[in-house]
């Protein structure tokens, strides 16, 4: 039965291209449009009445001989579960305080209300940096995050200088990043961040009416005018390099291709647009929004095709697939290293598995003064897509690595159960990314 | 392959774990991304 083939392959029909993806190896095949049309027309009846001309059928049957990579993945997963834990990347929450009150902010759900100490002391920051440098990796990462990290600029600045000095003695390389809403950026701050090659993630949701919808100042007014011009200046000051505009779209701002157009018009051509992580609010996404979201990714993908032809491409983070220089097995299995390689540090020096799980006391892993509770860390070593039932049969697993476990926990109350809505969304986005990657 | 089906890429699932590459949450989105937009940096 030809139908059997589709237990192992997923058909993609995007941007007038047809692709087949092997669910267990990740192999990508381009399909002739004649065959693609026939397969696509049989998709809804699950290929049960699929009949093909003989030469097409023979070629399709050859795909059944394709090697699965599941056994290799399982072997690597066993090793991952037994690995010795060392931190590689710290998200340093230097300020659990913000000059904005964005209605969709995940910090509201976690840490902001209950903290007594809102700003990280320089001593705590230095201790965290020492902790990170003690790890045996040649490249380590430090991301200044909040709240709004520039509310604690002095600690940020001195931490960067301190980390820079430590690289000289340790021989390690450090990658620095800072996520900001831009309001407190000054020329001096930009100059310093540029000098130390700190990658900037700048929060901007789109044009004024979109941005102001949910990104509001503490006085309730929209923050666009306070953020936008500072962000533009910061990007200009670094010659449009080493930055990403990070936008969020919500149920109320579903037409995110307009935000993309706005960024491009404003020469802010490195951007990502992320679905809001929220439930039971007027701005939360749900399944009925998927057709519009799909349409928006289609518009964005077609815009990229057009701009590439004109020699003016832009960089939308999620469309930047690199099929030919792929990540290693370990990365494909568990992606971010939450709770093991990637950790978040609160202003008090508490250690959490990631910035989105900060404040969830059940996941507190210790602190930078006493160390990590390795027993509590054990469950995070088991995080990989082979431990998620929903991922096992999914075609996207080799490319998505099982998604975000903080999202899993937030929506499904389980670290191992990905939320259906976000899987559906990610798969749409990935289909366009794959179609864009194939000539 | 043949006339109707062409292999574009069969991603090599090679052992690595050298941790030279960037952790996904340190990149642009601060939420989970697909891993394929985080290529192996050792082979750049």
Give the Cα separation of A269 and A331 in Å (integer): 27
Give A246→chain B minimum CA distance, Å. Answer: 6
Query: Chain B residue with minimal CA distance to A396?
Result: B34
For residue A406, is it left (φ>0), alpha (ψ between -120 and 50) or beta? alpha
Residue A319 — φ and ψ, nearest 5°? -95, 0
Residue count of chain B, please give it. Answer: 44
Give B4→chain A minimum CA distance, Å. Answer: 5
Give A370→chain B minimum CA distance, Å. Answer: 25
E strand residue ranges, A15-129: 17-22, 28-31, 89-93
pLDDT in tens, chain A (439 residues): 788 888 899 999 999 999 999 999 899 999 999 999 999 998 878 788 888 999 999 999 999 888 888 899 999 999 999 999 999 999 999 999 999 999 999 876 555 555 567 999 999 999 999 999 999 999 999 999 999 999 999 999 999 999 999 999 999 999 999 999 999 999 999 999 999 999 999 999 999 999 999 999 989 999 999 999 999 999 999 999 999 999 999 999 999 999 999 999 999 999 999 999 999 999 999 999 999 999 999 999 999 999 999 999 999 999 998 888 888 888 889 888 999 999 999 999 999 999 999 999 999 999 999 999 999 999 999 999 999 999 999 999 999 988 899 999 999 999 999 999 999 999 999 999 999 999 8
Are A177 and A199 contacting, i.e. CB atoms less than 8 angstroms apart?
yes
Do residue A400 and residue B34 have CB atoms under 8 angstroms apart? yes
Residue count of chain A, please give it. Answer: 439
Beta bridge partners of A315: A270
Give the Cα separation of A333 and A74 in Å (integer): 9
Residue owning tokens 């250690």: A351
Give the Cα separation of A414 and A54 in Å (integer): 47
- Report residue A166 CA to chain centroid gap: 29
Give the Cα separation of A84 and A374 in Å (integer): 10
Do residue A27 and residue B21 have CB atoms under 8 angstroms apart? no
Do residue B16 and residue A328 have CB atoms under 8 angstroms apart? yes
B3, B13, B19 member nearest A73 (Cβ): B13
Do residue A356 and residue B31 have CB atoms under 8 angstroms apart? yes
Do residue B35 and residue A399 have CB atoms under 8 angstroms apart? yes
Radius of gyration of chain A (CA): 23
Residue B16: CB atoms within 10 Å:
19
- Between the alpha carbon of residue A285 and those of residues A16, A293, A423, B16, the distances in Å are 28, 10, 13, 37
DSSP-derived secondary structure letter, B33? -
How much is the pTM?
Answer: 0.95
């Amino acid at each position: 039965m030809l139908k059997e083939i589709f237990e192992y392959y997923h058909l993609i029909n995007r941007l007038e291209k047809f692709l087949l993806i092997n669910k267990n190896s990740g192999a990508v095949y381009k399909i002739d449009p004649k065959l693609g049309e026939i397969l696509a027309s049989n998709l809804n009846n699950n290929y049960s009445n699929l009949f093909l001309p003989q030469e097409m059928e023979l070629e399709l049957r050859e795909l059944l001989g394709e090697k699965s990579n599941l056994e290799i993945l399982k072997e690597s997963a066993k090793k991952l579960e037994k690995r010795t834990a060392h931190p590689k990347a710290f998200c340093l929450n230097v300020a659990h305080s913000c000059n904005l009150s964005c209605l969709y902010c995940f910090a509201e759900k976690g840490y902001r209300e209950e903290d007594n100490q809102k700003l990280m002391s320089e001593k705590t920051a230095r201790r965290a940096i020492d902790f990170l440098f003690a790890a045996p990796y040649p490249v380590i990462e430090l991301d200044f995050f909040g709240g709004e990290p520039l509310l604690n600029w002095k600690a940020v600045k001195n931490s960067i200088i301190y980390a820079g000095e430590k690289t000289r003695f340790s021989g390690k390389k450090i990658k620095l990043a800072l996520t900001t809403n831009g309001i407190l950026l000054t020329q001096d701050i930009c100059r310093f961040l540029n000098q130390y090659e700190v990658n900037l993630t700048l929060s901007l949701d789109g044009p004024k009416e979109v941005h102001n919808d949910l990104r509001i100042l503490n006085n309730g007014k929209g923050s666009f005018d306070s953020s936008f011009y500072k962000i533009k200046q910061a990007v200009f000051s670094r010659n449009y390099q080493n930055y990403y505009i990070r936008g969020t779209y919500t149920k109320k701002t579903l037409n995110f291709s307009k935000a993309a157009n706005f960024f491009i018009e404003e020469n802010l051509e490195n951007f990502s647009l992320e679905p809001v992580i929220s439930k039971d609010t007027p701005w939360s996404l749900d399944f009925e929004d998927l057709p519009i979201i799909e349409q928006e990714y289609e518009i964005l993908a077609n815009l990229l095709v057009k701009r590439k032809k004109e020699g003016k491409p832009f960089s939308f983070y999620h469309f930047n697939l690199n099929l030919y220089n792929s990540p290693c097995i370990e990365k494909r299995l568990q992606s971010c290293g939450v709770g093991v390689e990637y950790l978040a540090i609160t202003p008090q020096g508490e250690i959490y598995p990631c910035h989105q799980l900060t404040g969830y006391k059940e996941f507190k892993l210790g602190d930078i003064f006493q160390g990590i509770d390795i027993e509590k860390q054990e469950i995070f070593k088991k995080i990989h897509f082979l431990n998620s039932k929903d991922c096992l049969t999914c075609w996207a697993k080799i490319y998505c690595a099982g998604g975000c476990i903080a999202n899993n926990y937030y929506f499904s109350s389980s670290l191992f159960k990905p939320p259906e809505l976000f899987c559906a969304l990610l798969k749409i986005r990935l289909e366009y990314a794959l179609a864009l990657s194939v000539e | 392959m043949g006339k109707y089906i062409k292999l574009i890429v069969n991603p090599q699932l090679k052992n690595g774990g050298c941790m030279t590459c960037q952790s996904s949450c340190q990149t642009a989105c601060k939420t989970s991304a697909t891993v394929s937009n985080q290529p192996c940096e050792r082979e750049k």
